[in-house]
Structures are given as C-alpha cells and as structure tokens.
Amino acid sequence: MTERTKAGGSTIIRYLDVVKRYGAFTALRGVSLDVHAGEVVCLIGPSGSGKSTLLRCTNGLETIDGGDIEFEGTRLARDDRGLRAMRQRMGMVFQNFELFPHLTALQNVAEGPRTVLRMPLDEAERRALAMLDKVGLADKAPNYPSALSGGQQQRVAIARALAMQPDVMLFDEPTSALDPETIGEVLNVMKALAEEGMTMVVVTHEMTFARRVGDWIAVFDAGRIVEQGPPRQIFDAPTTERTRDFLGHLGWTG
C-alpha cells in the first residue's frame, strides 16, 4: 500500500542515484527520491545517515560526485550564476538558525529581497514585516537576534527564507538545537506552511511531526534510503527490518 497522495503535482525535485563522497567516506550511496509540488517529504534516520548531506547537495552547498539532481525539470546548475538563480527559488532553514547578528529581525528577513532580488528598501521591508507577521513575530521586528529566544530566532529564519517566495523549503533539523518548550512554536509554523501547500523537504527527528504533517517519508541508513512511503506505512507497518530497528530505538510506540 504505497499510495502517494500528491504524486499528481509536478515534480519539484528529483534525486537520481545521488552519490556524495568525502575523501574515503561515502555519505550518499545512490539515493533516488522524488519531491512533488505541495508535498511535505520528511527524511528520517540515524545521525550520519546522509539526510543533511542530501539537503545540502540540493541547493549546491555541497557538490555531488555521482548521479543527478533535477530542480523543476532542469539539472542543478554547476556555474555560480546558475546556482544562485536556483537558490533564489529554494528556501533553507538551518539547525543553528544562522541569523545575521549585526542585523535586526526585520533587516534579516529583508536582506534576501534587498540584496539578491534588488528590491527597493521600503518594499523589501514591507514584505519582511508581512513575513514576520506570518510567523507571529511582527512585534520583534526591531530586535537583534541576541535578544530573541531560540524558537523566535528560528521563526525569523523561516520568515527570512519565505521572504524570497521560494518554490520549495528545505529544513535541516530545524528543531534539534531548541529547548523543548520552544520546539512547538516552530513546528506549528511549519505545519501552517504545509497546510498552505508549500513544498517542503524536512530532515527531522520529530517523529510526531513527520507522522502528522508529512505526506511522504524516506528512511535513511548509511547513505541509502532503506524504505520510503506514506507515514501510515512507515510508522504503523514498516516493511524493512532497518526501519523497525530505528523506530524501536527511538522508543516509537505509535
């Protein structure tokens, strides 16, 4: 039973046998996966299994050694300019937020539109304020990151990525560096985004989120996808030993 509810939409990202090596260590051993428009694809698995690596290859922060990545039907660019153009249509949220400390929340969110999209300042700031409002932090616009909690910083980071109006949002363990109390506020923002129909690829350890919000789950282990399918399959009736082991270790009782 591997029905894929949103497979009807166009393919936003296609990973074809992606291989990535770091010296003698192979982080990705031929990973194939499709991401369709409007889908929330969650990548789960033990640490070091290659999930974050795949994400970083998606927007060219890392270059692949084998296979292909297609974004909106075209192969991932290799030249600087082409790559930058593609990155403008992808939003990325990092585990460590990586807000720019010398800019206020508003300036952080406006930075992309201003510098990359070359929007005039007032227009960029208007859009930034709207994005901050969307994540519930309009009142924190004039604050510097040092004055914000982890959860607030991550929400600003999401707003910063959204301000570029991307076609897909890439989340690299967005809640792993957060205190338990603030994880909820970030996951809620992500859930709302998903409900609006944003295409999302999420590397996460938050299994409840993956089960409730995910449309398609890919289980990673040692550089390969050992199983992929809808949440109901992965979490309730996994078909592979590895998946069962992994969920068992996490104390997943469903």
Partner 1 sequence: MNFDFGVIADNGRFLGYGVGITVVLSLVSGLTSLVLGLVVALARLYGPRGLRSLIVLYVDSMRAIPVLVVLVWTFFALPIVAGVTMSPFAAALIGLTVHLAAYAAEIVRAGIESVRPGQTRAALALGMSRAQILRRIVLPQAIVRMLPAFGSLLSVTIKDTAIASVIAVPELMRQSETVAGQSFQPIEVFTFAMLLYFLMLYPVTRGVDRVYRRVAHLGRS
Site for partner 1, rule CB under 8 A: 59, 61, 80, 84-85, 87-88, 90-92, 94, 96, 98-102, 111-112, 115-116, 144, 146, 157, 160-161, 164
Residue type at 200? M
For residue 87, the minimal CB distance to partner 1 (Å) is 4
Which lies closer to partner 1 via its Cβ, residue 78 or residue 102? 102
For residue 169, the minimal CB distance to partner 1 (Å) is 11
For residue 81, the minimal CB distance to partner 1 (Å) is 8
For residue 207, the minimal CB distance to partner 1 (Å) is 26
Characterize the bridge pairing of strands 11-22 and 66-71: antiparallel
**Alpha-carbon distance 233 to 163, whole Å?**
35
Please list, in sequence order, all residues whose beta carbon lies within 8 angstroms of the beta carbon of residue 251, skipping any fewer than 6 positions away.
none
Which lies closer to partner 1 via its Cβ, residue 87 or residue 127? 87
For residue 101, the minimal CB distance to partner 1 (Å) is 5
CB of 2 closer than 8 Å to CB of 164:
no
- SS3 track for 17-84: EEEEEECCEEEEEEEEEEEECCCEEEEECCCCCCHHHHHHHHCCCCCCCEEEEEECCEECCCCHHHHH
For residue 100, the minimal CB distance to partner 1 (Å) is 6
Which lies closer to partner 1 via its Cβ, residue 75 or residue 84? 84
Which lies closer to partner 1 via its Cβ, residue 113 or residue 229? 113
Which lies closer to partner 1 via its Cβ, residue 11 or residue 165? 165
**Alpha-carbon distance 137 to 65, whole Å?**
41
CB of 154 closer than 8 Å to CB of 173:
no
Which lies closer to partner 1 via its Cβ, residue 57 or residue 247? 57
**Alpha-carbon distance 8 to 91, whole Å?**
23
* 202 phi/psi in degrees, rounded to 5: -120, 120
